[in-house]
Each structure stands twice: as C-alpha cells, then as structure tokens.
Amino acid sequence: MSTIAEPFRDFWAHAQREVPALDASRFYEAFAFGDSEDLATELADLVLRGIKRATASLVWTYDVEHKPRPRPGDFSIVTSWDQRPLCIIETTAVDVVPFNAVGESFAHAEGEGDRSLAYWRRAHTDFFRRECARIQRDPAPDMPVLCEHFRVVFPTGDETVR
C-alpha cells in the first residue's frame, strides 16, 4: 500500500468523514487515466457518469516500475490530468488475461467508445503500443493485461472533469 500524498490528504479526510469505511491502510494510489490530458478527461468523465467501471493496464508496466498490482479492496483517488481529485474508487476484482483473450463483457465494463470488443481492441492496441514503447517492450497478441473492475465509493459531487 501507498501513503496518501500531501496534496490529497484533505480530500481523503473529507471523504472519510462521508464514507467511514475508507481505510487509509488500503490506499493504493492517486492517478489520472490514460497518457494524455484528453484521454484522462474523457475516461474520468465516463467514471463520473457511471459508465466506466473497469480499466486495463499492462502487467509488464508493474514489473518494470517495481510497483505492486492493485488488489480487490484497494482504494484509489481518480484525478484530472492536473491532479485535481475527482472521486475515490474501490477495486472489486482483478484478473490477468492475455490481450487477445480479453472478452466482450470486460470491454463493455470499460465503457469506452461503443463499448464493443472491436473498439476496445483498436483503442487498447494503440494505447498499449505507446506504453510498450515507453517501457521498452515489444507489444504481442498475448501480452498480459491486468483487467481491473472497480466501483466509485466517493464522488466529489462535482461532475465536471475540466
């Protein structure tokens, strides 16, 4: 588990008054989705609107960065690209699946585009290609993808991402 960074402590304390079950010992991270401001804004908006309830990442990234993988029960703060807290999510399930075995139900839970598996594969091929370049790995059809399901446990009430 991580320590809640100073810029997020007041937000966490406020959330904990509203949701006493928030346990700081289960805090995982504060993060913005994606690898660009536009993507972070789009995906956070989907979360705040109740559409996006899952996210995918490369297992290789956790390995390269020596970062533990999220686990069910972990709490994370979703932020805007400029690190403004937007909500707190709780990880509810984690599976590792080869890229080419990710299924339609997971693509739908991610909530992106038309929510189809075809859209998911196109968008994530592009995203994971960029991520592989960043971590100096070659993309592969069977690269391990961490499929994480989550639920929003504390929305800020401010439904605007920008």
Give pLDDT tens digits for 56-108: 999 999 999 999 999 999 999 999 999 999 999 999 999 999 999 999 999 99
Percent over 70 (pLDDT), the chain: 96
Each domain of the chain, given as residue ranges in start order, spans: 37-155
CATH number of 37-155: 3.10.400.10
- Report residue 156's pLDDT band, with 50, 70 and 90 as the boundaries: confident
**β-pair partners for 105:** none
Q: Where are the alpha helices (DSSP H) in 49-157?
A: 59-64, 104-110, 117-135
